Copies of this chain bind each other. A is one copy, B any other.
Amino acid sequence: MSATTPKALFERHQSLIEKAVEVIHTREYWSPYSENMKKYAEDKVKSASADFKALCGQHFELETIKPTQKVTGERSPYGFELGISYDQPDLNALTEAMEAALPQWRDVGAQGRVGVCTEILHRLNEMSPLIGQTVMHTSGQGLMMAFQAGAPHAQDRGLEAVAYAWDAMKGIPESARWEKPQGKMDPLVMDKKFHIVPRGIGLVVGCSTFPTWNTYPGLFASLATGNPVIVKPHPGSILPAALTVKVAQEVLKEVGLPACLVSLVPDTQAEPITKELALNPKVKVIDFTGSSAFGNWLEENARQARVFTEKAGVNSIIIDSVSDLKAVTKNLAFTLSLYSGQMCTTTQAIYLPKDGINTPEGKISFDEFAQALATATSKFLSDNDRACMVLGAIQSEATAARIDECRKLGEIVLDSEQREHAHFPEARIHTPLILKVDGKDKATYSEERFGPVSFLIATESTDDSIRLAREVLNEQGAITLGFYSTDADRLNQAEELAMDVKVALSNNLDGGVFVNQSAAFSDFHATGGNPAANASLTDTAFVVNRFVVVQSRRHV
């Protein structure tokens, strides 16, 4: 006898699930998982750092089908080896076991699967303080961001995917009686059943910078719709994914289901196995976050699967005029500093006319704006402790090296500097590099420069800014677009631009909301309509291609 059942889990979380389904259609503010650390069990908050350290240097135990070798290699961007080893399963044995387990998971039904998924999220939420630590020491995010984005916000996104899946699945009746009148004769009567059938094994390929936030939507969308899921984390950020898989396996086992329905496949930078996994004919759904090169490769080659990709883009801001220069530059300073620009939503290209912009105090020149932004950023980062908390650490050597490479690309408006963390002297911490370039240097600013590098682009006019941004966004795509203007006609132009290039727009952000922030249940993350991502996280299209409906019918 199992301790509980999937159906009981659904009933336990039913009101939460129903609220989630309501909110995806109103898109008002809602967050079921608190971002306030004080709301969590005090002992767990206190012990989080020690709990994380206790995992370091150990073998991480998971249910693993036919373990072949141990992999290791994570290093905290704060300057130490994690020293954790993980089992890598035999891929053939794993995919065979998962395919064999699929019918059981399918036959649990939509409601039970949604119950199991929500229970997993509930338990992940309870361990948020520890997850925050693991996200911090793999991604390099500052502790507060690692906690918020890595735990509750990621869980929000996970629940959002479950809500979309439930909304789509509950719209398909399990059965129907079909009764067709035949004039004076008896009607034709049939009983029909409608089965939600998953496509096959889902593969979620994680990234190093957001090992949970970018993993949960695909993981929970596939799982809720009946697909067993392989989590293939980035070799640099395995631990948060491993903890997630562990929780999922625990819940599955408690309801009497095979643990392998959610399996971890870790690999190393030296011996990557994503391509082999992605081409496995049993893998029918793939979620990927990472480089355009690899995302495009998946789209081109993994033709047996439905592939959902979030890739690189050139997030942009167009500045026409501002109503409060100080507020705007302060807002941008935070945007450029947060996690050292290692967010898929961070602005890289800022377009403004070379002859300046209007403010309530009169026209200011391009260079005055550049100086104001540099000053705002320096000032914001003047307190080193706060700076380190906001900047976090640079996840990879390659990103750190890129800062240097980019210095020569333009006139330096604000130079990047190294910072020393009070507690982690070895941490890889760098402040933003802001460069000035001419609108004509498209090749320079239209290539994604992942990390704390941004360009102030001197254009002929706001019309020219819009024209250039349109070109770059059409060619490279983006997840975010910002626009600043005090002119209603200009804001209408921005709205048209956003629709034409299919990028989400933020207008005149000058307060406590930042262009690189995306709130689950309200903001659609990526549109799926430009080269930066072929799908949105999360909308209906993100879930409904993960299953098909197989019907049967017979006479009554």
Residues of A participating in the B interface, judged by any CB pair closer than 8 Å = 24-29, 103, 106, 167-168, 171-173, 176-182, 188, 190, 192-195, 197, 199, 299-300, 303, 491, 494-496, 498-499, 502-513, 519, 522-524, 527-529, 536, 539-541, 544-545, 548-555
Do residues B551 and A505 form an inter-chain contact, with CB atoms below 8 A? yes
A111 CB, nearest partner CB in chain B, Å? 16
Give the residue among A172, A180, A540, A548 with the most B Cβ atoms within 10 A: A548
Contact A548 B522 (CB under 8 A): no
CB distance from A524 to the nearest CB of B (A): 5
**Additional A-B contacts beyond A192-B523, A502-B550, A504-B550 (9; CB < 8 A):** A28-B176, A103-B499, A193-B495, A197-B527, A300-B303, A498-B552, A509-B554, A528-B548, A536-B548
Task: Determine if A539 and B529 form an interchain contact, defined as CB atoms under 8 angstroms apart.
Answer: no
The 3 tightest CB contacts between A and B, nearest first, are: A529-B548, A507-B554, A505-B552
Contact B548 A545 (CB under 8 A): no
| A522 CA / B29 CA spacing, docked (Å) | 37
**A26-B173, A27-B192, A554-B508 known; A549 vs B524 contact (CB < 8 Å):** yes
B29/A512 in contact, CB under 8 A? no
* A527/B555 in contact, CB under 8 A: no
30 contacts between A and B (CB under 8 A): A24-B171, A25-B173, A26-B173, A27-B173, A27-B176, A28-B177, A28-B179, A103-B499, A106-B499, A167-B171, A168-B540, A176-B522, A195-B495, A199-B529, A498-B552, A503-B550, A504-B551, A506-B553, A506-B554, A508-B555, A513-B555, A523-B551, A523-B553, A524-B549, A524-B551, A527-B548, A527-B550, A528-B548, A539-B549, A540-B544
Pick the most buried of A24, A199, A519: most chain B CB atoms within 10 A of its CB: A519
CA distance A506 to B181 in the complex (A): 20
Q: How far is the CA of A307 from the CA of B29 in the complex (A)?
A: 35
Which residues of B lie under 8 Å from residue A541 when comparing CB positions? 541, 544-545
User: What residues of chain B lie closer than 8 Å to A26, measured between beta carbons?
Assistant: 173, 176
Q: Which of B172, B181, B529, B550 contacts A499 (CB 8 A)?
A: B550
Residues of B within 8 A of A505 (CB): 550-553
- Please, which residues of chain B bring their CB within 8 A of the CB of A506? 552-554
Whether B192 pairs with A522 at a CB distance below 8 angstroms is yes
A49 and B522 CA atoms in complex are apart in Å by 56
**CB nearest neighbor in B for A299:** B303
Name the residue on B nearest A24 (C-beta): B171
Please indicate which of the listed interface residues A178, A179, A524 has the most CB atoms of chain B within 10 Å of its own CB: A178
Once A502-B548, A513-B555, A540-B168 are accepted as A-B contacts, the answer to whether A178 and B508 lie under 8 Å apart by CB is: no
| A498: B residues at CB distance < 8 A | 195, 550, 552
A545 neighbours in B (Cβ, 8 Å) = 541, 545
Contact A25 B171, CB 8 Å, known A502-B548, A548-B536: yes
Assembly CA distance A252 to B513 (angstroms) = 42
Q: Which residue of B lies closest to A498 (CB)?
A: B550
* Residues of B close to A179: CB separation below 8 A: 28-29
The chain B residue sitting closest to A188, CB to CB, is B512
Q: Which residues of B contact A192 (CB under 8 A)?
A: 27, 522-523
- Contact flag A507-B553 (CB < 8 Å), given A29-B178, A195-B499, A499-B197: yes
Could you say which residues of chain B place their CB within 8 Å of the CB of A548?
502, 527-529, 536
B509 and A555 within 8 A (CB): yes
Nearest B residue (CB) for A481: B552
**Among A179, A496, A541, which residue has the most Cβ atoms of chain B within 10 A?**
A541
How many angstroms between the C-alpha atoms of A548 and B540 in the bound complex? 10
Write out the residue numbers on chain B whose beta carbons fall within 8 Å of the beta carbon of A539.
Answer: 544, 549
CB <8 Å contact, A180 and B504: no
Quick check: A550 and B523 within 8 Å, CB to CB?
Answer: no
Chain B nearest Cβ from A184, distance in angstroms: 13
Check B28 against A529 for contact (C-beta < 8 Å): no
Q: For the complex, what is the distance from the CA of A172 to the CA of B182, rounded to whole Å?
A: 39
Please report the C-alpha to C-alpha distance between residue A176 and residue B524 in the assembled complex, in whole angstroms. Answer: 13
Q: Indicate the member of A106, A195, A303 with the most B CB atoms within 10 Å.
A: A195
Contact B552 A495 (CB under 8 A): yes
Q: How far is the CA of A257 from the CA of B507 in the complex (A)?
A: 31
Residues of B within 8 A of A499 (CB): 103, 106, 195, 197, 550
